[in-house]
Chain A
Amino acid sequence: MQLTLWTYEGPPHVGAMRIAASMEGVHYVLHAPQGDTYADLLFTMIERQDRRPPVSYTTFQARDLGGDTATLVKDAVARAFERFQPEVLLVGESCTAELIQDQAGALAVSLALPVPVVPLELPAYSKKENWGAAETLYQLVRSLLKDRVPPPGAARPSRPEGRPPRANILGPTRLGFRCRDDVAEITALLAQLGIEVNAVVPLGATAGDIRRLPDADFNVDLYPEVGRTTAAWLKRCFGMPCTQVVPMGVGATREFVAEVARLAGVDPSPVLGLEHPGRAGLGASASRLPWYSRSVDSTYLTGKRVFIFADATHAIAAARVASEEMGLTVVGLGTYSREFARDVREAAQRYGVEALVTDDYLEVESAIAAASPELVLGTQMERHIAKRLGVACAVISAPIHVQDVPARYSPVLGFEGANVLFDSWVHPLMMGLEEHLLQMFRGDFEFHDGASASHLHAVARPTPAAAFAAEPAAAPAVAGGSEPAWTREGEEELRKIPFFVRGKARRNTERFAAERGMKVITIETLYEAKAHFGR
Chain B
Amino acid sequence: MSAAPQAVLRDCRETPVLRERGQREVFCGLTGIVWLHRKMQDAFFLVVGSRTCAHLIQSAAGVMIFAEPRFGTAILTDRDLAGIADANDELDRVCATLLERRPDITTLFLVGSCPSEVIKLDLAKAAERLNGRFLPRVRVLSYSGSGIETTFTQGEDNALRALVPSLPRSEERQLLVVGCLADVVEDQFRRCFDALGIGPVRFLPARRAADLPAVGPGTLLLAAQPFVGETVRALVARGARLLASPYPFGAEGTTAWLTTAAQSFGVPAERVRTVLAPLEERARASLARYRDVLAGRRLFLMPDSQLELPLARFLNREMGMELVEVGTPYLDRMMVGEELPLLPAGVTLSEGQDVERQLERVRAAQPDITVCGLGLANPLEAEGLTTKWSIELVFTPIHGYDQCGDLAEVFARPLDRRRRLAL
Contact = CB atoms under 8 A, between A and B. Distances in A.
B164 to A, nearest CB: 22
Contacts of B81: 99, 125
A44 B76 contact: no
Nearest to B71: A5
Interface in A99-151: 99-100, 123-126, 128
Interface residues of A, number: 61
Interface stretch (A6-14, A286-294, A408-416): A6-14
A34 B352 CA distance: 11
A64 B94 CA distance: 31
A339 to B, nearest CB: 15
A3 B58 contact: no
B67 interface: yes
A62 B151 CA distance: 12
B147 interface: yes
Interface string A351-389: 000000000001001000000000000000100110010
**Residue in B2, B63, B148 with the greatest tally of chain A CB atoms within 10 Å:** B148
Interface stretch (A53-61, A198-206, A442-450, A520-528): A53-61
B148 to A, nearest CB: 4
B375 A52 contact: yes
Interface in B102-140: 114-115, 117-119
Contacts of B67: 362, 365, 385, 388
A347 B119 CA distance: 42
A95 B52 contact: yes
A36 interface: yes
Nearest to A399: B58
A42 interface: yes
Contacts of B77: 1-2, 125-126
Nearest to A36: B52
A36 B374 CA distance: 13
Contacts of A83: 356
B3 A37 contact: no
Interface in B378-408: 378-379, 381-382
B151 A34 contact: yes
B119 to A, nearest CB: 6
A458 interface: no
Interface stretch (B23-31, B190-198, B263-271, B363-371): B23-31
Given A50-B379, A95-B51, A401-B63, A125 B24 contact: no
A51 interface: yes
Given A45-B378, A75-B1, A95 B55 contact: no
Contacts of A126: 77-78
Contacts of A64: 1, 148
A1 B94 contact: yes
A58 B1 contact: yes
A124 B374 CA distance: 25
A71 interface: yes
Interface in B44-61: 46, 48-56, 58-60
A60 B50 contact: no
Given A33-B147, A35-B28, A59-B24, A3 B114 contact: no
Contacts of B23: 37, 56-59, 76
Contacts of B71: 5
B148 A65 contact: yes
B52 A11 contact: yes
A38 B3 contact: no
B279 interface: no
A41 B373 contact: yes
A496 B54 CA distance: 45
B72 interface: yes
A4 B375 contact: no
A44 B148 contact: no
Contacts of A94: 52
Given A35-B52, A365-B67, 15 more contacts: A1-B48, A3-B75, A3-B97, A6-B64, A10-B51, A14-B52, A41-B375, A50-B378, A59-B22, A59-B23, A60-B1, A64-B148, A72-B1, A96-B50, A123-B78
12 contacts: A5-B69, A11-B51, A58-B23, A59-B147, A60-B148, A72-B1, A75-B1, A76-B1, A79-B3, A95-B50, A96-B52, A384-B64
